[in-house]
Amino acid sequence: MIEEYLTYIEAVKNLSSKTISSYKEDLKLFTMFCSQEKIELLHVQPETILHFIAWLTGKKYSCASINRMISAIKGFYRYCLRFGKISTNPASDIESLSQPRRLPKFLFEHEIEALQKLPDSKTFIGSRNLALLAVLFSTGCRVSEIAGMKITDINFQKHSIQVTGKGSKERLVFLSPRAEEALQNYLLFRNAIPNVSSQYVFVNNRGKALTQRGIAYILDMLQQNSKINKHVTPHMLRHSFATKLVSNGADIRSVQAMLGHENISTTQIYTHVDLERLRNVYKDAHPHSLRKNKTMEEQS
């Protein structure tokens, strides 16, 4: 039944292979717990699920992991109810654990400028790395979307790229003049690679598509060669893109569309990031702020 459910969400819900793999392990663990409790999967009561959550908490599973397992269980029993395997859904009233939302880490504009000064745009590797940085910051794409970006997805006339996001959903992202220039320069080098056959935009010097891990490694190396004291990741550039839009007055619905978020609550965290940034500016600049007074006391 679990295999049937996993096949169903892959074919109908278009969930990623990573999510399906995680759900498979989650449901396997839940099945083992039910077996130890001598409870059949289709005879589970809400109390069983609550006991499972308590057991996970005692085993020091993180809130995020427990909430993913709850999601897997709820989805499984919704499937069972829909296809007549059960008459009532034992997970319908089970709620996810509340957890504090961490503000996403991002780069300031001067830090992005510092990174973009490092690659040598007159070489294949340098032009590719510069284009990679510029496209990430210009579009706010996920690293999976960057790795899966194809030459045919680019439309220089409309200054846009069509990307395929989570759940195979397509959307348009936009190229700034700077990103477009960097990308066009890189493509001259890319197309000159002997026997390059890859349909993907970002490739290595053998013409093979860069993996998500390879892209993360490139950013890590750039950060190590800079004076930036932050662990730079592809997702950090996505956060930087969104934070910059919000701080410049973009409405949250537009930012949601550009990021490809299904739920606007996911996007709203960037309003909190901007408020936190403004709060830090106030603490540094206002004469009555605690940080300002403390600094003055230390200097005296």
Catalytic residues: 142, 166, 235, 238, 261, 270
Q: Which residues contact 32 (CB under 8 A, 6 or more apart)?
A: none
- The neighbouring-strand residues paired with 154 are 161
Helices (H) and strands (E) in the chain, counts: 14, 3
> Phi and psi for 209 in degrees, rounded to 5?
-60, 140
Please name which of 14, 40, 17, 28 lies closest in space to residue 72, comparing C-alpha atoms: 28
Which string of b and e fits 56-77 if b means at least 16 CB within 10 Å?
beeeebeeeebbbbbbbbbbbb
SS (H, E, C) 16-79: CHHHHHHHHHHHHHHHHHHHHCCCCHHHCCHHHHHHHHHHHHHCCCCHHHHHHHHHHHHHHHHH
- Backbone torsion region of residue 52, taken as left when φ is above 0, otherwise alpha when ψ lies between -120 and 50, otherwise beta: alpha
Q: In this structure, are residues 142 and 165 in contact, taking their beta carbons and an 8 Å threshold?
A: yes
Q: In this structure, are residues 140 and 231 in contact, taking their beta carbons and an 8 Å threshold?
A: no
Q: Which residue has the tokens 């990741």?
A: 233
Q: Which residue has the tokens 């292979």?
A: 17
The CA-atom distances, in angstroms, between 181 and each of 56, 89, 108, 121, 134 are 51, 55, 22, 11, 9
The Cα–Cα gap between 10 and 18 comes to 11
